């Protein structure tokens, strides 16, 4: 199985449990690894035969930008569900970074894997 990845996709959204977080938009960063078979696309040289990472990015920018979850766990799970159900991907690893969420920490977030591991 092959992996198509998309790293550091920055999206502004409402995320958090505190009142002040519900009133502002914060930037989350997504790193995605998506399992797919690229052999058909490599042979045809056609975007129609592969996972279109631009389409994935556009869909997630729309979804995450419009969402208002309290927990990064919920948001990350929903992102994985979208990728698996809408983009013919058998496995996905999603890393969501909510930079600045913990004082003195450079990064904080969650990593999940869903689907059948390649």
**Catalytic positions:** 98
DSSP 36: E
Q: Taking the mean position of all CA atoms in its chain, how far away is CA 78?
A: 9
Residues contacting 78, CB < 8 A, separation 6+: 63, 67, 69
User: Is the alpha carbon torsion for 4, 56, 15, 26 positive or negative?
Assistant: positive
Query: What span, in angstroms and rounded, lies between the C-alpha atoms of 14 and 31?
Result: 19
Query: Is residue 69 within 8 Å of 75, Cβ to Cβ?
Result: yes
């Amino acid at each position: 199985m092959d992996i198509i990845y998309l790293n550091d996709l920055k999206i502004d959204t409402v995320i958090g449990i505190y009142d002040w977080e519900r009133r502002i938009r914060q930037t989350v960063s997504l790193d995605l690894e998506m399992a797919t078979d690229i052999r058909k696309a490599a042979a045809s040289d056609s975007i129609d035969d592969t996972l279109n990472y631009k389409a994935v990015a556009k869909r997630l920018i729309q979804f995450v930008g419009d969402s208002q979850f309290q927990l990064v766990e919920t948001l990350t799970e929903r992102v994985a569900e979208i990728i698996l159900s809408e983009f013919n991907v058998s496995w996905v690893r999603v890393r969501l970074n909510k930079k600045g969420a913990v004082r003195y920490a450079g990064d904080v977030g969650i990593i999940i894997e869903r689907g059948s591991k390649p």
